Chain A
């Protein structure tokens, strides 16, 4: 528990504040758009589009943003375990944000988006968040820069939003390519509402995140890759 407390304290306080503001803003917009404009999309947008970004940015600093990383690498505890604990803290923060939001939606009597039961509906935010968290972590480990890691996550997020018509429409992609693109599209709940492969999409995203996590583990297997000196 002591270690966990320190991992929480090491999180960038400014980012934590921004994350809190993002949550509050999302909560307000959801209430406003549902009760005033009668729009359900805002709920999906907050959970699927907005929540993954601040946590992906936090994940980018899990190792590359550590000012004492050279000393951390000489500690008896393996680096991957230290980074895994920090990522667990980030995921915990995300879970708290999402569960609080679920409770908030229940209070406002707004239905949860997504298919299946309560647990499956949590995949609305969980799967895209996992992909962005591990993409961000991998990029930060590769570049040894938290800024690069965060930029990659935000870049992927922005591209998927800006190019969503191209990624899930048939203007450019056809056949198998289009099928694949739709099934690994990060924001399928919002822009592919009601498609039968929604759960498969969430599972595939979790699979991609797992591959990225393995790549992170491999990258952490040699200290010189983390600190420079190849």
Chain B
């Protein structure tokens, strides 16, 4: 199972280019898709999920082309999709919702369907509330139901769009762990789209950064962090905000305000160099200080 994107673009009416000339080759495993709001992540996900037709370029999921109507039905057979905003039916229980979705996904054998739903409810730790109506579920529980829904057909290609947005830390970690376990099962491509850097840092061996519809980075998380090597500083000021620098954090201290900043060259003599994190690398890339070319040159060196 491999996913191949070539010159993939999507332009909405009004000439709004949401995705521009994306080239990617995706192998089995968990890949993180990172980018700010409006970067084009959801549009890219929707094209891969057969919900949107690309304006230009091709996207092949295994042997199937998302542009071909006949292939789209085949893609749906191997696809699991958890959208950014999944609405659930408040009148149905978790079990009924999964049963209904399983029928729509083509799981017609009642016994096998029941077995699969039970397994998934166990996987997402909702077996004990399977018969409770969804209207009473918390945000985290709803996401877990959504993830179970995406896994109903044991998909070879799983797309999860912002699965942890708005969740408390415990639920976020739980979802992340589930995704990592699914990736470990092997053979499956999982695309995790998020704007939360921490999620990617904890789960992915490869990440792609999108910005204004274009790929700005494609590599390992440590490679992205390395972009900010020698550019991550800690400095304390009496209150003046550092200019022309990307600020990663601000912490009030007894002697002034401590800033963690990303910039090149060293901002002040007394600024202390720090070991960069993935977030620092991401900030460097996104701040406009690091262009795509700079980033690539750094990676090559």
List residues of chain A with CB under 8 Å of any chain B CB.
2-3, 6, 9-10, 13, 66-78, 82, 222-224, 227, 229-230
Q: A68-B86, A227-B51 are in contact. List 8 more A-B contacts (CB 8 A).
A: A2-B110, A6-B103, A68-B87, A74-B51, A77-B106, A227-B46, A229-B51, A230-B13
A223 to B, closest residue via Cβ: B51
A10 to B, closest residue via Cβ: B89
- B244 close to A (CB within 8 Å): no
Q: B183: shortest Cβ distance to chain A, in Å?
A: 20
Q: B66: shortest Cβ distance to chain A, in Å?
A: 11
Choice from B76, B83, B104 contacting A70 with Cβ under 8 Å? B83
B92→A75 contact, CB < 8 A: no
Q: How many angstroms from the CA of A229 to the CA of B44 in the assembled complex?
A: 12
Which residues of chain A are near B105, meaning CB under 8 Å?
A: 75-77
A76 to B, closest residue via Cβ: B106
Q: How many residues on the B side are at the interface (Cβ–Cβ under 8 A)?
A: 36
Choice from A13, A73, A75 contacting B101 with Cβ under 8 Å? A75
Q: How many angstroms from the CA of A13 to the CA of B100 in the assembled complex?
A: 18
Q: A136: shortest Cβ distance to chain B, in Å?
A: 21
B91→A73 contact, CB < 8 A: no
A71→B91 contact, CB < 8 A: no
B52→A9 contact, CB < 8 A: no
- B81 close to A (CB within 8 Å): yes
Query: What are 5 residue pairs bridging A and B, where the CB atoms are less than 8 Å apart in the complex?
Result: A3-B103, A9-B89, A9-B91, A68-B86, A71-B146
Which residues of chain A are near B88, meaning CB under 8 Å?
A: 67-68
Q: Of A71, A72, A227, which is in contact with the most chain B CB atoms at under 10 Å from its CB?
A: A71
Q: B59: shortest Cβ distance to chain A, in Å?
A: 15
Choice from B46, B51, B100 contacting A6 with Cβ under 8 Å? B100
Mark B133-163 against chain A: 1 for CB-CB distance below 8 A, else 0: 0000000000000100100010000000000
List residues of chain B with CB under 8 Å of any chain A CB.
10, 12-13, 43, 46, 49-53, 73, 76-77, 79, 81-83, 85-89, 91-92, 96, 99-101, 103-106, 110, 146, 149, 153
Known: A68-B88, A75-B104, A76-B77. A6 touches B96 (CB 8 A): yes
Which residues of chain A are near B50, meaning CB under 8 Å?
A: 74, 223
A2→B99 contact, CB < 8 A: yes
A3 to B, closest residue via Cβ: B103
Q: How many angstroms from the CA of A3 to the CA of B88 in the assembled complex?
A: 17
Q: How many angstroms from the CA of A67 to the CA of B100 in the assembled complex?
A: 14
Q: A192: shortest Cβ distance to chain B, in Å?
A: 42
Which residues of chain B are near A222, meaning CB under 8 Å?
A: 53
Q: B150: shortest Cβ distance to chain A, in Å?
A: 8
B87→A76 contact, CB < 8 A: no
Which residues of chain B are near A66, meaning CB under 8 Å?
A: 87
Which residues of chain A are near B100, meaning CB under 8 Å?
A: 3, 6, 10
A229→B89 contact, CB < 8 A: no
A71→B96 contact, CB < 8 A: no
Q: Of B10, B76, B110, B153, which is in contact with the most chain A CB atoms at under 10 Å from its CB?
A: B76
Q: A10: shortest Cβ distance to chain B, in Å?
A: 6
B79→A74 contact, CB < 8 A: yes
Q: A84: shortest Cβ distance to chain B, in Å?
A: 13
Which residues of chain B are near A71, meaning CB under 8 Å?
A: 81-83, 86, 101, 146, 149
Q: How many angstroms from the CA of A66 to the CA of B91 in the assembled complex?
A: 12
Q: How many angstroms from the CA of A68 to the CA of B88 in the assembled complex?
A: 6
B92→A224 contact, CB < 8 A: no
Which residues of chain A are near B49, meaning CB under 8 Å?
A: 74
A76→B51 contact, CB < 8 A: no
B84 to A, closest residue via Cβ: A70
Q: How many angstroms from the CA of A2 to the CA of B96 in the assembled complex?
A: 10
Q: How many angstroms from the CA of A200 to the CA of B293 in the assembled complex?
A: 72
Which residues of chain A are near B106, meaning CB under 8 Å?
A: 75-77
Q: How many angstroms from the CA of A13 to the CA of B87 in the assembled complex?
A: 17
B81 to A, closest residue via Cβ: A74
Which residues of chain A are near B101, meaning CB under 8 Å?
A: 68, 71, 75
10 tightest Cβ-Cβ pairs between the two chains A and B? A67-B87, A75-B104, A76-B106, A6-B100, A70-B83, A74-B81, A229-B52, A77-B104, A223-B51, A76-B76
